A and B are shown apart, each in its own frame.
Chain A
Amino acid sequence: MGSPCLKTVGAPSLEELRNSPAFPKSEDFMRGPIAVIECIEEIPCNPCETSCRKGAIVIGDPITNLPRIDFEKCIGCGICVAACPGLAIYIKDYTYSDEEARISFPYEYLPLPQKGDVVQLIGRTGEMVCSGTVIGMQNSRQNDRTTIVTVAYPKNFFDEVISMKRIKNKS
């Protein structure tokens, strides 16, 4: 298999991701919020495609095709984030503010952070990258218990951050 990092470390490297068809180029990130799909293996799965109301994500037939995204159609709405059974999609916005970028990622642990909390943000191997401020939480019925947490964080860590460190229970 052509993804040595994914298949030994457990997480894909940025290089492996950049070689996959769905991963945005740096100019795509300049458009505003867009979906980033970290799904680089041919698995039989297509809820990202069927959930997208803009028709921006295409898998087609067979359903093991790797997803592709048309970033002209993607508006970063985030519906695919909770729809993805692999929890492999997040929304990133490089244009959020002058200093900060924004990420919305799926989160299925307790306790949940609160809006306004400062949380530790992590990279693909769980390494601490920087801290960020929770600016939104979304858990509609459609999410089916996959909460989407939105965090603002410093732009210079734009590529590395993909999620937040789990909050340790007090007990």
Chain B
Amino acid sequence: MNSFPIVVIGAGPAGLSAAIEAAKAGAKVLVIDENLKPGGQLFKQIHKFFGSRVHKAGVRGMDIGRQLLEETKNLGIEVWLDTEVCGIDQTKNIWAIRNKDTSVNIRAEKVIVASGATENAVRFPGWTLPGVMGAGAAQTMINTNHVLPGKKILMVGSGNVGVIVSYQLLQAGAEVVGIIEAAPQLGGYGVHTAKVRRAGVPFYTAHTIKRAMGDHCVAGAEIVGLDAGWNPIPGTEKVLKIDTICLATGLTPLTELAWIAGCEFTYIPELGGHVPIHDLHMESTVKGIYIAGDISGVEEASTAMEEGRLAGISAAADLGCYTAEEKRKRTLEIWDHLNALRCGQFGQKRRDAKDRILAVGKEMISWAVHV
């Protein structure tokens, strides 16, 4: 039986940040990830991040990934890659498969689940054709694998993911034929939309995809205008000559492990759906199980890192590595960082949604120490 005071599941921005904070406090940490390489989706984020200095603003996501790995290494944190967690019970016994062939059990005193999120699909005739893929998949192909998924792209969805990946497809040498958005207004930051617009990419607001064309793979797309009630307007169909359709239609938290562990959930559509209820310290309704990053509501890597730090500090403090006063001080400091990212016309909605989770958490988590 392997035994670790703290086990972090997921080596993305949230998980690594959690592990680093916990290890800095002196706790022994194991990080588990199903992938062959750590970093989660950070290494395909080749753009400079927003925020302020404390959020590493102006640094490219991939370089933040490198910094996190460096810190992980320097702190001597054990990382098990190619290890898939299949179950956690309420006593924090973890069952995992290592290297696809060895079953292992790990006993943890504290577990931090930072499992991330998965891309949503939208269904339309032809959506299963080769050439229809998640925007994140296209981003993985260009920035991690260095191959173009196609030469002429239609992006579905104008949120930040859609416009950032469109920009990166242009940088990789593809042509983005258009970005469609079902809503009457574009979703992403104006600075991102402006960047692709000046590169000549047209936006189609109040448009949806009617079908993907092609027999063996995508050979075109038919798009159609939508009225105020989101109904297609006959006669507004337009055929675009493209070979790839990227779907940037939101993400859903990957919550299976939290469900298995018995965490209570609440439904927050603005954050991607069902998310585990948690308190200010990212502790779930199962004592000793913490969550951080997109599993606790889909946001971005900058907030995921701060939430990871919160979870790491709490778990370490609950093992006695910090005094109650130190925990309180550091927790409040990180909440300041988080609140800075969750304000303004884009962030306030997420702040309100997070407050709703915390309000439920306050009721349900009896041992929660409120700071």
Contact = CB atoms under 8 A, between A and B. Distances in A.
Consider the complex of A and B and state whether they touch directly, i.e. have CB atoms less than 8 Å apart: yes
Interface string B22-53: 00000000000000000000000001111111
Contact of A109 (B50, B158, B171, B344): B171
Interface stretch (A36-44, A92-100, A131-139): A36-44
A159 interface: no
A108 interface: yes
Contacts of B158: 10
A38 B194 contact: yes
A169 B174 CA distance: 11
A124 interface: yes
Interface string B194-211: 111111110101000000
Nearest to A169: B173
B291 interface: no
A64 B343 contact: yes
Nearest to B205: A8
B190 interface: yes
Given A1-B185, A44-B50, A10 B343 contact: no
Contacts of B346: 41-44
B230 interface: no
B186 interface: yes
B267 interface: no
B197 A41 contact: no
Interface of chain B: mostly helix, strand, loop or mixed: mixed
Report the interface size class on chain B. Answer: 35 or more
Contacts of A88: 191, 194-195
Nearest to A8: B205
Nearest to A44: B341
Tell which of B60, B191, B199 has the most Cβ of chain A within 10 Å. Answer: B191
A122 interface: yes
Contact of A86 (B185, B191, B347): B191
Given A45-B57, A64-B344, A85 B49 contact: yes
Contacts of B192: 86
Nearest to B192: A86
A41 B51 contact: no
Given A51-B58, A109-B170, A86 B189 contact: yes
A162 interface: yes
Given A1-B345, A43-B50, A63 B191 contact: no
A36 B189 CA distance: 18
A46 interface: yes
Interface in B314-336: none
A166 interface: yes
Nearest to A128: B200
B240 interface: no
Interface of B: 47-53, 57-60, 63, 158, 170-171, 173, 179, 184-186, 189-201, 203, 205, 340-347
13 contacts: A6-B194, A11-B194, A38-B191, A40-B190, A41-B190, A42-B344, A51-B58, A63-B51, A63-B340, A85-B57, A109-B170, A122-B198, A145-B60
Given A38-B191, A86-B195, A163-B198, 14 more contacts: A3-B190, A8-B185, A8-B186, A9-B197, A42-B345, A43-B189, A46-B51, A47-B48, A85-B50, A85-B58, A86-B50, A86-B192, A126-B199, A126-B201
7 A-B pairs closest in CB distance: A86-B191, A64-B344, A42-B344, A10-B197, A126-B200, A85-B48, A10-B193
Interface of A: 1, 3, 6-12, 38-47, 50-51, 62-64, 83-88, 108-109, 122-126, 144-146, 162-163, 165-166, 169
